Structure 1
Amino acid sequence: MAATLVHLLSIIFCLIFQFSNALTPDYYLQTCPKAEATITRAVRRSIIKDKTAPAALLRLHFHDCFIRGCDASVLLDSKGNNKAEKDGPPNISLHAYYVIDNAKKELETMCPGVVSCADILAVAARDAVALSGGPTWDVPKGRKDGRVSKANDSLQLPFPTFSISQLQQSFSKRGLSLDDLVVLSGGHTLGFSHCSSFQNRIHSFNNATDVDPSMSPSFAASLRRICPMHNKVKNAGANLDFTPNSFDNVYYKLLLKGKSIFSSDQALLAASRTKALVAKFATYEKEFFDAFAKSMIKMSSIDGGGTEIRLNCGFVN
């Protein structure tokens, strides 16, 4: 009887623990009711001054969640002998940290020690999409901030040179499906890439050809002009699609025409399931928007195991 009671209490405790750690859209309803509006204002102000901010914020959120889960570890600064994620090779070009910092500063004045940096990042990513013409969604909140950030961990991110099998493995490790892979790749409708990320497709592709044969010849020629073999122009590169500041389905349309930037984009046409989804999203923008909102909620809910609410997003308490 005693053993049964202990077992029952254990189950109740686990359920309470899980519930208390569950993310919910209304998490700050009582403790900081103006939290989301404050973050949205910060994102809106940044876009007025910097058209690249939406792409940067969306990328920040991806790069955060794919390392240790969504715990804002990507925001931590290097300190002493510890080189943080933001200084890892794939993250050197990340920017727009100031947007998160500005929102955090306002929130600390309004509701001290309440809103996590991880939640600010998740809401800012949603706002970046919505304010660029894309879908909106209710962001589940209640994440805690992590205390660990290591530059070498950034090498766990999916690379722009990945094949479909490598991409599938990378997403599967984070509990994301093949469908999520195609949907979240649509985030490449925003932003810009440096030459180094697609050099492999336009120079010395293999022993037989310089250029990836799956790429449109005219598109490849334009990229080769921008990014010659021995490019010496700092920050040279290309937009990820023809409407880099608008969240739309142009990325998928260009992909079907051989006008994608990364090998990892082209890889989506290598499997029948992913190719069919690309074709669907290229045709029906609303289908893409609806799927993107769902996949973003799923990705942004990857547990980061955070333990605190940072008072400054660049440093642990």
Structure 2
Amino acid sequence: MASFVTGAISLLVFFLIGTSSAQLCSDFYSRTCPQVFPVVRSAVYSAILNETRMGASLLRLFFHDCFVNGCDGSLLLDDTPLFTGEKRAAPNFNSARGFEVIDEIKSTIEMLCPGVVSCADILAIVARDSVAILGGPNWNVKLGRRDARTASQLAANNSIPPPTSNLDFLVSNFNSLGLSIKDLVALSGAHTIGQARCTNFRDRIYTETNNLDSIFAQLRASNCPGNTGSGDNNLAPLDLQSPTTFDNNYFNNLVNRRGLLHSDQQLYNGGPTDSIVRTYYDNPSSFASDFVEAMIKMGDIRPLTGYSGEIRRNCRRIN
């Protein structure tokens, strides 16, 4: 009888540990690595000071990681003989950047708190700090994710919505991840910072006639030749008005038919998202609070916790 009780207690303890470990929380590293926050903040601040565009690039890494099999740091893995990673997927190849900033942060953290902080959590903190440093809202980041031991180029190609997406596809894509229409619009507001390559907006400025300001199209065409292959990597700001400040001007652009990407302007094109765009256009604080809520919600997409995955020592490869 005693052995049965002992076994039952052990099973209950194991269950409770497994259950609690599956919950992300903002104080996850409060005792094991409290240095993580100042280290990340300092590195992100230096990276943005060196190149303002880097803030948007770092934020984008978190999006592109979470949208592929959850927020598990898989985007950061280099190719191996066993798999082709997500870095070479169409949405990321010659586009995703900032990996060296993550490497620097991870290296510093490993010296201070070896084997404690996951690469997936570093991405989440980096995304928050990038927004806050560029003038956007701040929030408590939920932590406790672990790192994937594999990556999938195919999943990245299929999961990250391309800039040619229409509204129905965007809504369906976000819904499949548990994100609402409001989350879609709020998270798209991240395009208030950063730049896009000519190859991603060429079709919009040369072939779309509806819902496109002609003067804006001419401005963008001046740095994006109409011939495919010519100037493909030339850059243009996603937000015409304040491309290096995290604010609500992205929605001003949409209302005035100046969304750079086809997928941007789809949010204000006579559909169900028009009213949300208008709300964020009129009320910056509403956008800020909804963006924070959506970022936290996105960070909850299928994290690895407990005994799943690992804590990578190097974000580019498994242990």
TM-score (norm 2): 0.91
Checking the alignment, whether the CA contact within 8 Å between 2:66 and 2:72 is kept in structure 1 is: yes
Match of 1:238 among 236, 239, 243: 236
Aligned to 2:204: 201
One-letter amino acid of the structure 1 residue matched with residue 248 of structure 2: N
Q: 1:33 to 1:8 in 2, by over 3 A?
A: closer
Checking the alignment, whether the CA contact within 8 Å between 2:198 and 2:231 is kept in structure 1 is: no
Q: 1:272 to 1:151 in 2, by over 3 A?
A: closer
Alignment of 1:72-111 (within 5 A): 72-80=73-81, 82-92=83-93, 93-111=95-113
Aligned to 1:229: 226
Deviations 1:132-157 (A, max 9, x none): 00000000000000011122221121
Checking the alignment, whether the CA contact within 8 Å between 2:199 and 2:233 is kept in structure 1 is: no
Aligned to 1:309: 311
Alignment of 1:227-266 (within 5 A): 227-230=224-227, 232-233=230-231, 235-242=233-240, 243-266=242-265
Query: Which sections of structure 2, spanning at least 5 residues, go unmatched?
Result: none
By how many angstroms is 1:87 displaced? 1.1
By how many angstroms is 1:244 displaced? 1.3
Checking the alignment, whether the CA contact within 8 Å between 1:164 and 1:271 is kept in structure 2 is: no
Aligned to 2:295: 296
1:309, 1:29 → 2: CA distance? Answer: 17
Checking the alignment, whether the CA contact within 8 Å between 1:146 and 1:304 is kept in structure 2 is: no
Alignment of 1:250-289 (within 5 A): 250-270=249-269, 272-289=271-288
2:221, 2:47 → 1: CA distance? Answer: 32
Describe the SS at the equivalent of 1:193.
strand
Q: 1:181 to 1:15 in 2, by over 3 A?
A: farther
Checking the alignment, whether the CA contact within 8 Å between 1:171 and 1:177 is kept in structure 2 is: yes
1:21, 1:41 → 2: CA distance? Answer: 29
One-letter amino acid of the structure 1 residue matched with residue 274 of structure 2: K
Alignment of 1:107-256 (within 5 A): 107-155=109-157, 156-203=159-206, 205=207, 211-230=208-227, 232-233=230-231, 235-242=233-240, 243-256=242-255
1:46, 1:202 → 2: CA distance? Answer: 32
Deviations 1:40-88 (A, max 9, x none): 1110111111111100011000000000100000000012363210111
By how many angstroms is 1:10 displaced? 8.1
* CA RMSD, Structure 1 to Structure 2 (Å): 2.0
Aligned to 1:208: none
By how many angstroms is 1:21 displaced? 1.5
By how many angstroms is 1:35 displaced? 1.0
Runs of 4+ in structure 1 displaced over 3 angstroms? 5-16, 270-273
Identity of aligned residues (%): 39
Checking the alignment, whether the CA contact within 8 Å between 2:59 and 2:127 is kept in structure 1 is: yes
2:310, 2:270 → 1: CA distance? Answer: 42
Query: Which sections of structure 1, spanning at least 5 residues, go unmatched?
Result: 206-210
Checking the alignment, whether the CA contact within 8 Å between 1:249 and 1:281 is kept in structure 2 is: yes
1:274, 1:11 → 2: CA distance? Answer: 47
Checking the alignment, whether the CA contact within 8 Å between 2:74 and 2:148 is kept in structure 1 is: yes
Deviations 1:167-193 (A, max 9, x none): 011001111011100000000001000
By how many angstroms is 1:13 displaced? 6.0
Describe the SS at the equivalent of 2:140.
coil
By how many angstroms is 1:214 displaced? 0.8
By how many angstroms is 1:9 displaced? 9.8
TM-score (norm 1): 0.92
Deviations 1:203-229 (A, max 9, x none): 3x3xxxxx3321001111112222121
